[in-house]
A = this chain, B = another copy of it.
Amino acid sequence: MNNLKINAAGRPVPPEVNGEPVVPYMGVGKYKPVASKCSPVIPSCADFPADGNKCVASLKEALVKAGLRDGMTISTHHHLRDGDLVANNVFDIAHELGIKGLRWFPSASFPCHDHLIPYLEDGTIAGIEGSMNGPLGKFTSAGKMERTAVLRSHGGRVQAIQDGEVKIDIAVMAAPCADPFGNANGLGGPSATGVLSYADIDVRYADKVIVVTDNLVPFPCLPMQIEGNFVDAVVLVGKIGFPEKIMGGTTQVTRSPDRLIIAELTARFCEATGIVHDGCIIQAGAGGISLAIATFLHQTAQKNGWKIQAGFGGTTRYMVDMLKDGTMKYILDAQVFDMEAIRSLNENPGHTAFTLNNIYNYHSKGNFATMIDMVSLGATEIDVHFNGNVVTHSDGILLHGIGGWQNCLFAKNTIIAVPLFRDRIPVIVDEVTTLCGPGELIDVVVTERGIAINPLRTDLIAKAADTGLPLKSILELKEMAEAICGKPEKPRFTDKVVGVVKWVDGTVLDVIRQVEGIW
């Protein structure tokens, strides 16, 4: 591609992606769409069974009835995480039917979806827009995916659907609990996921919606996290997921001494600067460091007699503990990471599900993310301008999705809590390999060897001045990393753009290029 143009972040980006024109990133809050929302086709009750029973015999039958054909866009959600059987089954069926050129539009992908690589190779799937983790990422980086990959944040995915940027032909929504009309939730059954928050936007805007469940209950399935009025067909299958893999993953507090130092420094910083305070709103994620930070903040709040007004989930038992002992008043939940969180959702009226639209969609009338006092996030790289990368590593290979990371940057105080280096590769670098978040939105970087505050945040610099915390400049942190690890070799890229990173407003923030010499 020789027609790349430099965007407002200084990154060269293409004028179109997969044949569709795109807007280059213009700066935070600078791009204002002048357009209308996606307008799905108007259905009629006359075309649906009066007894409310939309059950069809198999997913194959449902897909055929939904008009599955070459080139369609198929969406799935990721609440079943690494235990998902449904997304894989969709493409098994598509392959069996000889369908080609599909676009897979998941809300996230997991190692279990490596199952789809043969379908990417044989043309059943032409491309993925979403997260390309592990082998799917490597497949992309090797330049083997037919379409250009499009990476979006969780909120960016909502924005893209709402704005009609991605028109979903068929949404296949796995549901741990559903009735024959299509009302569904994640609360019950053998494959419980707690919530179905990521599915809400899909069912509202997709042309056809298929609910797949292994736990069909009589009408009415309550609460209706998915409303059956948006559902075309319901399929009962033997199993939608492996429970032990749905709730598995990174839900243990880190035991690494270095990472515990990072977590403790983060909590101390938040207390000393007043970022965390009585009545504050926080977001805690999963992952070892985040959970350790949550544990430390729990202690901080208890010590000071503070009540945290609300915590946004991804929820684990560490947040639930705060709710139980009154340290936290409310948990608002878009994703559940363990069984304790599901129990809490079922039992505690202060713990409630909400949709991705509310917290993360930048093209709505405000969202909850900006009201968060403190969020702690990870990154694969942070550069000396505080820019962040979460999708590629310093070897240039695509390995992660963006998740809610970009959306959370809009919190009042965004802290990146990362080790100075991983496997002797520096995390603090001169320039991020892939730009996922502009430095102006990243306020603090906490490492085990020091804390760097973004110079834009003079208020935080003043508040942290006499706290005894190990304050460093971001340059000092980078130099410390290089002193220990040496300067890492730059990855070798070809000219081929294999993926783009979208900003929360749908503009193109950066590109991902083919890496030389893999596969």
Contact = CB atoms under 8 A, between A and B. Distances in A.
Contacts of A182: 365-366
A33 B39 contact: no
B45 A364 contact: yes
Contacts of A231: 365
B219 A52 contact: no
Contacts of A330: 220, 222
A82 interface: no
Interface stretch (A1-9, A13-21, A355-363, A448-456): A355-363
A358 B50 contact: no
A52 B368 contact: yes
Interface in A337-390: 349-350, 352, 354-355, 357-358, 361-368, 370-371
A204 to B, nearest CB: 9
Nearest to A159: B42
A211 to B, nearest CB: 11
Interface in A225-250: 227-232
Indicate how many identical chains form the complex: 2
Contacts of A43: 363-365
A22 interface: no
Contacts of A410: 45, 50
A325 to B, nearest CB: 20
Contacts of A224: 354, 358
A44 interface: yes
Contacts of A462: none
B37 A33 contact: no
Given A39-B37, A42-B163, A43-B364, A50 B309 contact: no
A366 B54 contact: yes
A367 B40 contact: no
A505 B48 CA distance: 14
Most buried by B among A41, A279, A364: A364
Nearest to A183: B358
A307 to B, nearest CB: 11
A223 interface: yes
Given A33-B44, A36-B40, A227-B358, 4 more contacts: A219-B281, A219-B310, A220-B332, A227-B357
A357 to B, nearest CB: 6
Nearest to A50: B370
8 contacts: A45-B363, A45-B367, A48-B365, A52-B370, A218-B279, A219-B309, A220-B332, A228-B366
A46 interface: yes
A459 interface: no
Given A42-B162, A370-B51, A365 B36 contact: no
A37 B38 CA distance: 8
A284 to B, nearest CB: 16
Contacts of A352: 222-223
A35 interface: yes
Interface string A203-215: 0000001000000
A49 interface: yes
A421 interface: no
A318 interface: no
A236 B29 CA distance: 29
A330 B183 CA distance: 14
A365 to B, nearest CB: 5
Contact of A229 (B38, B52, B219, B358): B358
Contacts of A358: 224, 227-229
Given A358-B224, A371-B181, A49 B366 contact: yes
A32 interface: yes
A413 to B, nearest CB: 12
Contacts of A36: 39-42
A361 B29 contact: no
A357 B229 contact: yes
A309 B229 contact: no
B51 A371 contact: yes
A42 B363 contact: yes
A222 B41 CA distance: 32
Contacts of A42: 33, 35-37, 162-163, 363
Given A44-B505, A505-B44, A230 B38 contact: no
Interface string A96-121: 00000000000000000000000000
A229 B223 CA distance: 21
Nearest to A233: B365
- In the A-B complex, the 4 residue pairs with the closest CB atoms: A48-B366, A29-B46, A39-B39, A36-B39
Contacts of A46: 29-30, 32, 362
